[in-house]
Amino acid sequence: MLLIWFWFCLPNTLFTKPTSPVLLDQKEQLLAARIASDGQWRFASPDSVPIRFKTSIIQFEDHHFESHWGVYVPSIIRALYQNIKHSDVVSGGSTISMQVIRMSRDNPRRTYSEKALEMIRALRLETKYSKDEIMAMYATHAPMGGNVVGLEAASWRYFKRSPFELSWAEAAMLAVLPNAPSLIHPGRNRNALLNKRNRLLKQLLDAGVFDQMTYDLSIEEELPDKPSALPQLAMHLLNKMDNNEGKRSKSSLDGSLQKRAEEVVQYHHEALAANLVHNSAALIIDVKNQEVISYIGNCGTPGMGDHVDILESLRSPGSALKPFLYASMIDAGLITPKQLLRDVPINYGGFQPKNFDKTYRGVVPADEALARSLNVPAVEMLSTFGVTPFHECLLDCGFRNLNQPSSHYGLSLVLGGGEVTPMQLASAYAEMAQTLNVFYTENGKYAKTHSTFGTRKKPKASPISEVSETSLTFSAGALFHTMEALYKVNRPASEAGWEQLSTSRRVAWKTGTSYGFRDAWAVGCTPEYVVLVWVGNADGVGRPGVIGSQAAAPILFDLFDLLPPTSWFKTPADELIPTAICKQSGFRAGRHCTNIDTVLISKTCIEAEGCPHHQSIFLNAEKTLRVNRGCDPNPLKVNWFELPPLQTWYYKRTNPQHRPIPNWKPGCSDTSSQVDFAILFPIERGTIYLPKDLETGQQPLAMKVVNNGDGRMMHWHLDDEFIGSTEGIHELEYLIDPGQHELVVVNELGNFKRCTFKVLGAL
């Protein structure tokens, strides 16, 4: 019966007190901690105890710790004799094992029966746990003065560093603290604490633990003034990884980088807060190691949503998803990187995208459209590629919160019509970079599985080392073209002259601005790192100036400046083929193209459309008028670059050197049936608000047609009623009533253009 009682006398769980949530960096340095729920700074048990503290505590408390079985009988006899002699408890004779038992019982009042129970349980403790485990229990739960409990909490509170970095003097000071924590701690009775520490150092010297020089230097060390605040880095990550369980969480963060990154974001936050922009977040990913090395969930104004972890919050990405569409279009063989895309006013069933600068360029190369983040070409590409395939592509890239049917988002999907988290966006960019890295290092093979970029340390064996011929979401060729286009994005004013500096870091980067200036994004990547920055208000309130290029981009490049030098993506030669490209249009060269470049483009672009903008025409001898063989016996045959009339009208405004196709020579008949003009205004399916006229109360609608400079007559019809004709400059003003209308314009050859629009009335 006694043996059974002895075996079960020790509780399965000795200590049930809550511990402080603790976050460590990749080198196990403290990043952040929160006080435990009982108001104590108490860290979870460490894996091991520093040798200096272990040696000091054994010398001070229990010389025979390594040899006894939980109770050292001579000490008990000595304590019993002294207590009887003084008729009071003046000595306990407790071993470290007995003290662990006493601490587990909340330090009850000292009595002989309590001491007997401690001894029995100490014996059982020694049979159940190793000496190292018992020492770790003591180091974790020993009172260290005030509300500081345990070696690690005391080390950081008193000396601002890990217990493994303590000097002999510091370790000795912490070894003597548990002996009388309520009387002696660095905030009071400093002389008593100093004398006690120095006596222990003398004992260590006499025991031959260290030499005389170490002793002389140690006793000169001063005591800490008072407990210091613990580091509070990456607090949002601490909350994410701990979930109030009081665990010790080791992360992949770089502590030094985290501290400097928070300083950078805080510096910019102070300026942003003056514009009532209260929150910022940033993330840095080590691409090659697949680790998050800096995590700033929210640098915010206190009380203004600063508790929200923005990196895990759903926000509109603005234009930050455009690179995924660009890569998809190249992979589908629908565009080449330099191919001209339409950039004119368009209307899709009431959805009328506009470029951020409110201008149009007629046509623009695809890579330039991406670099300039033009909305109209992006919507044009999405209309061609298809919303459903693009939606599926984004889901494959990890944007799992885009879980509505593709029809829910429509064409606005590429402009930020869905919501993603900053962590998802950064991970998707990092995966693109990693795909290119692996393709090069593995000789033209792809990773079998998608990369996963987390904040915890991962084992050395990583899925990315498993490669096969199976492609991931994008081909290496498409990704390389995407990175090359993003490298050309114009940098903020703080980076002025970056193109001329040979030492300038090559970064593929993209901005994003959500509707209503609620979210400003900037995300950049190199083969080694991805940096993401978000700026805005956690409650979604928009503010002027919350623009990716102005609010987020300066922070992005300041964060890149904290990182080591980086390289650039290697050319995936196996995925690129030399191809003849029309220099003017960017399409695959057609038979009428006159200026041809041979460039490397993705294999998937080989079947892309040939150049539609060059045609063979006849001109007179002076090359000023267009003719045919019926009216000119000696026409000159030339190849001419021509754009549709609407595109030409906008293109000439930014490219004055462009020469529209010449007019027909009088008397020459045009047998072409092609519609060679366009209605510039009103826009198809557009909605028009007419301003009031101060005198009449009505304002005529000014309508305009463009036709590449051809002067032939145009006839105008509104709602099946003839309203006039124009010649040369085709502009017509007409009083129009509110409602739905249809405009039809017919030229002399019978070619016509039709436009439906709606007038809501005078404002």
Which domains can be identified in the chain, with CATH numbers?
A: 2-219 (1.10.3810.10), 316-510 (3.40.710.10), 678-762 (2.60.40.10)
Predicted confidence at residue 503, as pLDDT, reads 57
Predicted confidence at residue 369, as pLDDT, reads 95
- pLDDT tens digits along 117-127: 888 888 888 88
Find all residues with CB under 8 Å of 255, minimum gap 6, and list them: 25, 26, 27, 29, 31, 233
Predicted confidence at residue 696, as pLDDT, reads 60
Cα four-point dihedral sign 590, 591, 597, 598 = positive
CA-nearest of 572, 556, 490 to 521 is: 556
pLDDT band at 91 (very low <50, low <70, confident <90, very high): low
pLDDT at 626 over 80: yes
Q: Which of 155, 319, 328, 585 is catalytic?
A: 319
pLDDT at 366 over 80: yes
Q: How far apart are CA 664 and CA 627, in angstroms?
A: 6
Predicted confidence at residue 616, as pLDDT, reads 87
pLDDT (mean) for 494-511: 73
Give the helix/strand (H/E) hosting 640. Answer: strand 636-641
Prior bond to 635 cis, omega within 30?
Answer: no
Predicted confidence at residue 463, as pLDDT, reads 34
Predicted confidence at residue 466, as pLDDT, reads 37
- pLDDT tens digits along 649-702: 888 888 888 888 887 887 776 555 454 788 888 888 888 887 776 666 677 888
Predicted confidence at residue 494, as pLDDT, reads 63
Predicted confidence at residue 661, as pLDDT, reads 82
Predicted confidence at residue 413, as pLDDT, reads 95
Q: How far apart are CA 60 and CA 172, in angstroms?
A: 9
Q: Token pair of 86, please?
A: 């003084």
- pLDDT tens digits along 536-571: 999 999 999 899 999 999 999 999 999 999 999 999
Asked if 140 and 46 touch (Cβ cutoff 8 Å), the reply is: yes
* 3 compared with 315, residue with greater pLDDT: 315
pLDDT band at 453 (very low <50, low <70, confident <90, very high): low
pLDDT at 415 over 90: yes
Q: Which amino acid is at 49?
A: V
DSSP state of 550: I
Place of tokens 């739905």: 740
**Is 319 a catalytic site residue?**
yes
Asked if 251 and 455 touch (Cβ cutoff 8 Å), the reply is: yes
pLDDT at 497 over 80: no
- pLDDT tens digits along 568-597: 999 998 889 999 999 999 999 988 888 899
- pLDDT tens digits along 305-343: 889 999 999 999 999 999 999 999 999 989 999 999 999
* Mean confidence (pLDDT) of the chain: 85
Find all residues with CB under 8 Å of 216, minimum gap 6, and list them: none
Find all residues with CB under 8 Å of 306, minimum gap 6, and list them: 278, 279, 298, 299, 300, 538
pLDDT at 423 over 80: yes
Asked if 465 and 458 touch (Cβ cutoff 8 Å), the reply is: no
pLDDT at 13 over 70: yes
Predicted confidence at residue 8, as pLDDT, reads 76
Q: How far apart are CA 222 and CA 201, in angstroms?
A: 14
Place of tokens 């710790």: 65
Q: Which of 20, 56, 61, 475 is catalytic?
A: 61
pLDDT at 363 over 50: yes
pLDDT at 98 over 90: no
Predicted confidence at residue 496, as pLDDT, reads 59
Q: How far apart are CA 146 and CA 39, in angstroms?
A: 11
575 phi, psi to nearest 5 deg: -105, 0
Asked if 551 and 275 touch (Cβ cutoff 8 Å), the reply is: no
Q: Convert 422-452 into a string of H (helix), E (strand) and C (coil).
A: HHHHHHHHHHHHHHHHHHHHCCCCEECCCCC
Give the CA dihedral 48, 50, 55, 56, nearest 10 degrees.
-120
Lowest-confidence pick of 72-76, 390-394, 432-436:
72-76
pLDDT at 409 over 70: yes
Find all residues with CB under 8 Å of 218, minimum gap 6, and list them: 167, 168, 169, 172, 201, 210
pLDDT at 462 over 50: no
Predicted confidence at residue 669, as pLDDT, reads 62
Lowest-confidence pick of 419-428, 518-527, 589-598, 619-628:
619-628
CA-nearest of 597, 602, 633, 601 to 618 is: 633
Helices (H), 46-164: 51-61, 73-86, 96-104, 112-128, 131-141, 151-159
- In 10 A of CB 664, how many CB atoms? 18
Asked if 650 and 721 touch (Cβ cutoff 8 Å), the reply is: no
DSSP state of 188: B
Give the CA dihedral 626, 631, 633, 635, nearest 10 degrees.
10
Q: Which amino acid is at 571?
A: T
pLDDT (mean) for 98-117: 81
Q: How far apart are CA 385 and CA 363, in angstroms?
A: 18
* 509 compared with 249, residue with greater pLDDT: 509
- pLDDT tens digits along 469-486: 333 478 999 999 999 999
CA-nearest of 617, 761, 625, 620 to 688 is: 761
218 phi, psi to nearest 5 deg: -70, -45
pLDDT at 229 over 80: yes
